[in-house]
Structure 1
């Protein structure tokens, strides 16, 4: 039975990718262009800030190493939050475990991110950042970020059908993550009290890890991924527990 569920996840996840690609003239190219254009926009808006700190890192590359991974997370949270409610029609016809929907969403967005990663690496190489063995640390970083995406995705998927108004607050939460995770500034330049507060955001360590490996070309202390991983696993356990407990209740909710 579990094998059949994973087959459904695969079919739904890949199917969502194909449908998304066919929904625009540019197809899969838009998956790359959207975060790239967003990076250019924020580069124009914020480039003066980092240069003024004199850290010697070109701001555009500093930006894309965090903004493109952040776009993966923001898409995951947004889509997962409505993954159960948008499938209420299916739930009224036959039974499916509700955890399938946010899981399939995360699968499709993970595949999309794998398409974007080579673009990030290409821009870094063009910018003079030579490939190194340290880039292999991307694997544990991506796994850690996936855990967080799954955790938050399960939580939002579980709660949003019960409290529909949350769909208005989720974009605000995503914006809060964006501006407190050090995407646009180097957190180490902030006062220690500020750093301590911002450190509660698990994406601070994630984005710093991307930059350490890709920009600095340094090895990564895996212990720095411990808090983000624990955060993701804890959120996933709570979110899955809620979904499983409410599994039979969701179809009875008003459409």
Structure 2
């Protein structure tokens, strides 16, 4: 499968460009929409929680600390949710192309991944500009965002492809994941800090791989600190297992995908 992806690398690259251009089609603001939606969502959370409910970051000075914390977490979650959600439905969306054109089917989630990474890089650039308005200068710890980006995208890719294949044969998977992603978001410390989670829910937060992965962004962008590498072992293991499981189920189900569609 990996060999076939390499042989079709130019097809994947051109498809990523086509996917991005397709989003820009007939849009006056173009790529600005890529960053506007997550920025506005983070702004709403910041205004409601920081100003109305007077939420503050413990042990961190500055009124901009909480908005920066939320923006960092939302950026990490946005990458995760975009890759997972689009991979979940990509085989169904591209059913006409799969029936008419011969190409490795695994190219489709790879195209989703590449497009999401470009979108995410644009968002990080916009966030850096927003931070300058807050008077918060990006530090050297921003380099830790790169491994965080890789781990988040690998986890999302593995889960998304695994469930995307199952979704072809059982369309209830997509409906279940719509609800599950909402719960997953609120069980991830993005709009609140991990320390405020009640004791009975701490085990859920600790078992959540996105707790650590969003923490990479929050620590790097807000505190200018690197992650605890020991804490990354569980999400790395989960991500590797998810990717391997997705390859296994895709390899077994690929001969029947087109017939099921």
Shift of 1:115: 0.9
Give the structure 1 partner of residue 216 of structure 2: 209
Instruction: Give the alignment of 1:113-192 within 5 angstroms.
Output: 113-192=120-199
Give the structure 2 partner of residue 71 of structure 1: 78
Judge conservation of contact 2:142–2:220 (CA < 8 Å) in 1: yes
The whole-number CA distance in structure 2 between the counterparts of 1:216 and 1:42 is 20
Which 10-residue stretch deviates more, 74-83 or 50-59?
50-59
Whether 1:16 and 2:23 are equivalent positions in the alignment is no
Judge conservation of contact 2:83–2:153 (CA < 8 Å) in 1: no
Shift of 1:180: 0.7
What is the TM-score when the length of structure 1 is the normalising length? Answer: 0.91
Q: Give ranges in structure 1 of 5+ residues lacking alignment.
A: none
Shift of 1:73: 1.6
The whole-number CA distance in structure 2 between the counterparts of 1:53 and 1:215 is 13
Give the structure 2 partner of residue 5 of structure 1: 8
* Matching residue within 201, 224, 227 for 2:234: 227
Instruction: Give the alignment of 1:41-80 within 5 angstroms.
Output: 41-47=44-50, 48=53, 50-51=55-56, 56=61, 58-80=65-87
CA deviation profile, 1:204-243 (whole Å, cap 9, x unmatched): 0011111111111123322222222221111111112111
Q: Give ranges in structure 2 of 5+ residues lacking alignment.
A: none
What is the TM-score when the length of structure 2 is the normalising length? Answer: 0.89
Residues 225 and 52 (structure 1 numbering): CA distance in 2 closer, same or farther, change over 3 Å?
closer
CA deviation profile, 1:106-152 (whole Å, cap 9, x unmatched): 11111110111111122223323233222211111111112112112
Judge conservation of contact 1:99–1:244 (CA < 8 Å) in 2: no
User: Which segments of structure 1 move beyond 3 Å, counting only runs of 4 or more?
Assistant: 52-57
Superposition RMSD on alpha carbons, in Å? 2.0
Judge conservation of contact 1:43–1:59 (CA < 8 Å) in 2: yes
CA deviation profile, 1:65-124 (whole Å, cap 9, x unmatched): 001221222121221111111121122223322211111111111111011111112222
The whole-number CA distance in structure 2 between the counterparts of 1:176 and 1:24 is 33
Give the structure 2 partner of residue 34 of structure 1: 37
Residues 43 and 132 (structure 1 numbering): CA distance in 2 closer, same or farther, change over 3 Å?
closer
Judge conservation of contact 2:76–2:213 (CA < 8 Å) in 1: no
The whole-number CA distance in structure 2 between the counterparts of 1:151 and 1:51 is 35
Number of residue-to-residue matches in the alignment:
254
